[in-house]
Amino acid sequence: MKTFWDFCAPFYDLAEKAKGQAHYAMLKAVGGIIPQGSTVIDVAAGTGTISLAIADKASHVLCTDVSEKMLNVARRKINKRGLRNITVENQSIFELSCEDNSFDVVIASQVLHLIDEPQKAAAELKRVAKSMVVLPMSFTKNLRGVTKFSVNFYRLLGFAPKVEMTPNEYKDFLLSIGFDGCEFIQMAGRIPMAVAVWKRNNDIRSASA
C-alpha cells in the first residue's frame, strides 16, 4: 500500500529545504552534537538528509525508514557522494533489529508526533542507545501566512500529524513519553525547529549549536 511518505519521496527534500534557515541550523546543531567516531542509527530517516550531514563525524551510520521509496532517494544521494560508512535498511521505529545499546547515538527526527504510540517508540529508541538520543522537531502549530498555507497544502496530500506543538509543548510531550532531562537547542525560522538531546550518562559532553 502506497503511503503519503512514498508519494512525497521525490520532492521531500525540496519541502525540507523550504523550511529555510531553521532546517540548515538544525543540521549544523545535530552535526555539532555527534561525537567524532560515533556509531549512529538514524531512525525514520526519510531521504537520509541527516545521515549524510553527519557522515564525516560518525564511524558508521545506519539509515532506516519504513518507506522504501524514501530510502531509494537516500541510496542515490549516498552513492552520488561515494560514502561508504552509511548503511540503508527498511526498519520500523517500533521494532528495530538491533541489540540493546547498539549505537552511541540514536537520531529520530520529526517522527514522534506522527505516530499512534510515541511512548512505545521512545522506549525502543532508548533501548538501542548507548549514550544519547537526538530528537529534532519542527513546529507547525500557530503558523501564519504563506507558511501556514504551505503546511495546509501538505495536509491535503495526506500529511496528518497526531499532535502539533509549540516548543514548550514539545518539552512536555517528550517528558510524557519518557525523555526526561532533555537539553534543547532552538532554531528560529519560517517553520521553527528545536533539537532535543536525551543523555543516558552524564559523561557525554553538553550539546552546543
CATH number for the domain including 121?
3.40.50.150
Which among 103, 29, 34, 115 is positioned nearest to 62, based on CA atoms?
Answer: 103
Q: Do the domain assignments include residue 155?
A: yes
pLDDT at 132: 97
Q: Do the domain assignments include residue 66?
A: yes
Q: Do the domain assignments include residue 18?
A: yes
Lowest mean pLDDT among 1-5, 75-79, 124-128, 135-139: 1-5
Confidence of residue 36 (pLDDT cuts 50, 70, 90): very high
Q: Do the domain assignments include residue 183?
A: yes
Structural domain of residue 97, as residue ranges?
4-199
3-state secondary structure of 93: coil
Provide the number of structural domains found in the chain. 1
Backbone dihedral angles phi then psi of residue 83, each to the nearest 5 degrees: -80, 135
Q: Do the domain assignments include residue 206?
A: no
Lowest mean pLDDT among 40-44, 132-136, 144-148, 149-153: 149-153
Is the pLDDT at 151 greater than 90? The verdict is: no
pLDDT at 205: 38
Q: Do the domain assignments include residue 208?
A: no
Is the pLDDT at 111 greater than 90? The verdict is: yes
Half-sphere exposure of 201 (CA within 13 A, CB side): 9
pLDDT at 8: 86
Output the pTM of the full model: 0.90
Q: Do the domain assignments include residue 33?
A: yes
Is the pLDDT at 206 greater than 60? The verdict is: no
Q: Do the domain assignments include residue 177?
A: yes
pLDDT at 15: 80
Lowest mean pLDDT among 34-48, 119-133, 137-151, 190-204: 137-151
Report the Cα–Cα distance between both ends of the chain, in Å, rounded. Answer: 40
